[in-house]
Structure 1
Amino acid sequence: MVKSNEQYDESRCKAFVCDLTQDLLTDQMEPNSLDLVSALFVFSAIPPEKMEFAIKNIYNVLKPGGRVLFRDYGLYDEAQVKFSKASDKRLGDNLYVRQDGTMSYFFSTEDVKSRFEAAGFSTVNCQYIYRETTNRQKEMRIDRIFTQAKFEKKNCDGL
């Protein structure tokens, strides 16, 4: 569907499907070739034991000085508080299963920093973002907490 769009320009981007936790990105693109990776609500759906591979996978395709923009669910987000009340939803520390069977992991700033720094990234910034959302139909106010960070690749080491 993406490739059939009239605005898709193969000289500027490459659309492909892969499993970030097991398929090497370097099979689809050159190592050290990207300036930026946007990881918005990606890692919360990855099992914690597979995150290291996924982060190193991204590291290998970024140029030195390339950056990762990270945003995901933060520790003590309202969704986590709701999950924690149902013992059958808890799979592990900060890891829960949703009704549809998908996973949801909630990150502390220390957790996400240590995972990316262990893979060779330096932390540019890492913080919690607090937002209040309102469901007008149900007349509910919901406190949301997100973990947002920017990481930079410093050298050319990889997997």
Structure 2
Amino acid sequence: MDTILLGLEYQGTVYNSAETAKASGVPDEFIAGAQSAINALKGRDAIRSKIESDAGDPLSLLGTTSDAATIAVLMGACFMASLDETTSYGAFRTKANAYMQGLSGEHDPTEIAQEFLSKVASGGIRLPALEKGIVPVLAEVTARGNAVAEAINPSGVEDA
């Protein structure tokens, strides 16, 4: 049995190793569960370390995330403005494309999008959310979003 590097607490007593816990009568299932949780943390830490060494430090990743969020917000704004300013699908497409062309400069936004999606489909571009899976990502987004919303406004209480 591996030594637990973090303190294992069972019924108010802290054990510094699996061996000590086992010798004191802590159930094997509890020790195994604690070791599994510690191993999961070690695995997460190893992945994060690899991300930092291969993909960039946290501030660089934050900058890339900010860039991606900015593009998403701009596209949403283009669509919202286009919806408000048009009454038919054809007019919407024309208006949205004009907005996106203005943001894309000399590059064709449709070609940019098609090339990007083609590379994602072929595996030439790998995105973390797709590697994790959409369902777990949405669950994580929901949990974090709810936690932040609760911190901002406990229990969703509206101001009177």
Larger of the two Rg values belongs to structure? 2
TM-score, length-scaled by structure 2: 0.22
TM-score, length-scaled by structure 1: 0.22
Choose between structure 1 and 2: higher strand proportion: 1
